[in-house]
A and B are shown apart, each in its own frame.
Chain A
Amino acid sequence: MISSSSVNSRNSVWKGLDWVTVLVYIVLALFGWINIYGACFTYEQSSMFSFDNPAGKQFVWIMSALVVGMIVLLIDERIYDIFGYWLYAAIIVVLLVTPVIATGTKGSLSWIAFGSVKLQPAEFAKFVTAIAVAKYMSRYGYSVRSWRDLVVPFCLIGLPMVIIMILQKETGSALVFAAFILVFYTQGMNRKVMRYGLLAIIAVVCILKLQIIPDKWIDSVFQPHQRARIEVALGIREDPMGYGYNVAQSLIAIGSGRFVGKGFHQGTQTQLEFVPEQHTDFIFCTVGEEWGFVGSFFVVALYVFLILRIIYIAQRQRDVFSQVYAYSVACILFFHFGINIGMVLGLVPVIGIPLPFFSYGGSSFLSFSLMLFILLRMDGSRINKMR
């Protein structure tokens, strides 16, 4: 019985696959790749496929991710339900081990090297946590409206968050886990809790702004540069050549693109490295400068379409596990999209998180792809499930 249904689902996975999402995913990946080449173009010409530049490496990551995605589509989605906690336990161990054996890129404690390939486990922790939370919330008799039932999911989310923030000093990646609050909301969490959550965030901002908390306490949570960035964004600190430099240069880059952009490889801000982290976290600058308002609007529209599509996918799931996971994917993407572009546009503090499918970086691209293809597999075989 089980085996026949698995045969059926395997047959139907291509038929039930949400090709629209796949298409948007591929367009974003390719446009991102072009812009990475645009951002890292140097005067010694090298090809988009050459390993000399990040674009060539990104191309390899895109190809690997497509292969991995294909494999994910062929694997029965029930293994995530069955092995959810084991996966979670494994990633927690990896997260704990990472700072110990970290290779220390720019003093960072979050990277592990495998030969010449470097990976950032924190990126993978996001969807693994989503799986674990989905598994817990799909337990029989679970109610998100019960305080007691929220303890375990909050711990599941809080553990990697704390490890990443305290041990790996990657506040940006850790903050992404805050996106899960929206997942609880979709499952019917009490509005009061939402309200308190929002109030808590406002309180933190006010405390930072009024500086009524001793500096020592703040410094124990935030790195000095993060605190400075938050302060610049909140208008507490005026600092155009310091931490605000990234943002100032980013706004110049985007603004100078005007309506149709300067054209591929014509962006002076981009080409001449005025914007730091251009090909990773600030990749959207390149779009703004070289493709103008038209290109920027196109990219924003693609993300809105993708997230709305995933929300639609979540709504059509027939089981809690898939639905919670789908909403998690939507919320994580939403968080990344909102924070990353908001930061590039100078609307939110500089928090170093990548733009999904777009920024340079193997870990980020691979983990987002895995996350998306697992969802597509679940969605593709939903018709086999009972309502």
Chain B
Amino acid sequence: MINQQYYKRGYIIGGAVVLIALVFVCRLFYLQVIDSSTKDKADGNALVRQTIYPSRGLIYDRNDSLIVFNQPVYDVMVIVREMRKGFDTLSFCNAMQLTRKDFEKRMQEICDRGHNRGYSPYVPQVFWSMLSKEEVAAVQEQLYHFAGVSVRKRTLRDYVYPSAAHIVGSVGEVNRQDLERDGYYTIGDYSGRDGIERQYEELLRGKKGVEVLMRDSKGRIQGSYHNGERDYPPQSGTDLQLTIDIRLQQMAEDLLQGKMGSAVAIEPKTGEVLAMVSVPSWDPHSLVGRQRSKNYSALLSDPHKPLMNRAVQAQYPPGSTFKPVQALIGLQTGAITPATLFPCSGPLSTPIKCTHNHGSPVSLEAAIEQSCNPYFWWVYRTILDQNGTKTATFHRTYDRWRDYVVSFGFAGRFDSDISNQATGSIPRAKTFSRIYGESGWRPMTIRSLSIGQGEILVTPLQLANEAACIANGGYYMTPHLVRPLPSMPAGSRHETDIDKKHFEVVQRGMARVMTNGTGRHYSIPELQMCGKTGTAENPHGKDHAIFIGFAPQDDPKIAVAVVVENAGFGATWACPVATMMMEKYLTDSVSRPDLYDRIRSAHFIQSDVQ
């Protein structure tokens, strides 16, 4: 019955089976042993690396008062896919207090991959961002009724005081340059945009954590991968302690409201900045959250430039507050001694007239006390002429004079955590030669420099540092804003080129300013204040009122510089601010409430500024 003739055809079928199986095994060997690209593809398919944001470091003032902390904010998230079936748009709009048009516009934005890259209908998308706790509390209960709607928590900066905006800076979304510069960031991250927030970004931000999650083919999260084996927790940012005294800062900001200018206070022995005020300023709360970009552009377009930190970016001629430096250089170079007398003819003096009414001739101390312009012209002239009047010699002498000035911290930036410092400027001899010709300029040509006018520009921070140099009797510590952490180098000591012995007479002169001279009306004798007023000529408008000072004379604890733009006499407007700040810092009190109110309510903002 069976035809045995074809028995062998069974083997051929069997051979075909083995052949095909061999093809399969080769293919399997290639896929599973040789080709290694599939492992990554599988991981890319299934694993989602979810970032866990660390809480940003807190910021305290020098007395451990909290200044900057983190507040929770809430984003309303939607999963578009889950919203499709029978979503009650009308009640959702009512709950969120939106019009239907707003809702549809927002949904269109979300679903548009051109604007919202990485959009997926299965993954939560931000529908409405940065609602406050209160706003969310009002709607959260109703939101649970809507399928596909959820609330996500994030943190934003919050501030205890509405002050110190320039110092602290703000936090905002990273831009393209940040993304290219630092691989730490991804789109949508926040980083410090200016001030301390930017300067100490790497400490404050901490370290992001990662949670590896598995998702299925529809992008739905299914849980953690390998029980969190590849996760790591976020590291909170480092807390910072500022050198600022927030009460002093607040008081100075309050006093200077309605004005333009700045006030800087430094602890002379350490270089710690006690207060750094720039007005007009803004409430740091306004640059947080949803209103940030709107408020920021308003600040940007404000003609009074509130975003400019006048304490370090504004440059003024120092006026008479420069005279103590001139005196010290005179003493150091031997141009004068404490006993040297120069005549003063008051308003008739040449080439610079004196605006103050006092006797003649005057000694150094009296000249400081009375801010005698002719005296300092003679000092300056003597310094520049003492090595001879030949052009080359004069140029060398001038540059030497300039070096003395620079040793006080002028015409340069402090190597510290204070950002956006302007350098200020004092021209070199060769700069003048370029302007006037090699021998075309003489001490007469640059006479304004003798009284801190003309070609010299300084910042309020540099002025405060000048006061600190004099208070310290010959050196300054690099001004800084943050108490150094163990990992950071401590601020360094910079000697001026003036011997310590010359400072005493200048300090005495500055003490006399506050007892008998231009600052006498606003001094508080028991605090042993030393000071120097200044009135800087301003080509654009009314003079700037300037004051530098320190106290107490025996053991200076605070050095201050105040500039009030377009206010007039330094003695009238800058001096009281400075004395009240010194009093506040030294005694924690304000003994002259009437004066306080008068200064506080004064307005010097010009309305016709471009």
Residues of A within 8 A of B (CB): 43, 138, 182, 185-188, 249, 251-259, 268-269, 271-274, 276, 288-289, 292-293, 296-297, 300-301, 303-304, 307-308, 311-312, 314-315, 317-320, 323, 327, 330-331, 334, 337-338, 341-342, 345, 347, 387
Contacts and interface: CB of A to CB of B under 8 A. Distances in A.
A317 B197 CA distance: 88
Given A272-B46, A296-B28, A296-B32, A255 B23 contact: no
A268 B217 contact: no
Interface string B11-28: 111101110110111011
A87 B16 CA distance: 31
B570 to A, nearest CB: 73
Interface stretch (B35-43, B252-260, B433-441): B35-43
Contact of B13 (A185, A258, A347): A185
23 contacts: A43-B223, A186-B9, A249-B217, A251-B38, A252-B42, A268-B45, A268-B225, A271-B222, A272-B214, A272-B217, A273-B217, A288-B28, A293-B28, A293-B33, A296-B32, A311-B10, A314-B10, A317-B2, A318-B2, A320-B1, A330-B13, A331-B13, A345-B27
Contacts of A312: 10
B587 interface: no
B33 A43 contact: no
B45 A269 contact: yes
B28 A300 contact: yes
A252 B38 contact: yes
B31 interface: yes
A308 B42 contact: no
Q: Is the interface of A mostly helix, strand, loop or mixed?
A: helix
Most buried by A among B11, B214, B217: B217
B2 A319 contact: yes
A273 B20 CA distance: 29
Contact of B216 (A251, A272, A315): A272
B232 interface: no
B5 interface: yes
A376 B305 CA distance: 96
Contact of A188 (B9, B16, B37): B9
Contacts of A251: 31, 38
Interface of B: 1-3, 5-7, 9-14, 16-18, 20-21, 23-25, 27-29, 31-33, 35, 37-39, 41-43, 45-47, 214-218, 222-223, 225
B216 A187 contact: no
Contacts of A185: 9, 12-13
A338 B45 contact: no
B9 A258 contact: no
A307 B17 contact: yes
A112 to B, nearest CB: 31
A252 B32 contact: no
Nearest to A308: B14
Contacts of B13: 182, 185-186, 311, 327, 330-331, 334
A223 to B, nearest CB: 23
Contacts of B18: 304, 308
A251 B21 CA distance: 17
A142 B129 CA distance: 82
B214 A188 contact: no
- The list of the 9 closest CB pairs from A to B, nearest first, reads A255-B38, A268-B46, A256-B42, A272-B216, A188-B6, A293-B32, A255-B31, A304-B21, A274-B217
A276 B217 CA distance: 9
Contacts of A327: 10, 13
Nearest to B226: A266
B382 to A, nearest CB: 86
A43 B7 contact: no
A268 B2 contact: no
Most buried by B among A252, A330, A337: A252
B46 A315 contact: no
Nearest to B47: A268
Nearest to A292: B32
B6 to A, nearest CB: 4
Given A186-B10, A255-B38, A327-B10, 12 more contacts: A185-B9, A188-B5, A188-B9, A252-B45, A253-B42, A255-B31, A288-B31, A296-B28, A304-B21, A311-B11, A334-B17, A387-B2
Contact of A338 (B20, B29, B37): B20
Most buried by A among B1, B5, B33, B35: B1
Contacts of B3: 187-188
A43 B215 CA distance: 12
A182 B38 CA distance: 37
A259 B32 CA distance: 6
Given A182-B13, A268-B42, A272-B216, A255 B21 contact: no
B222 to A, nearest CB: 6
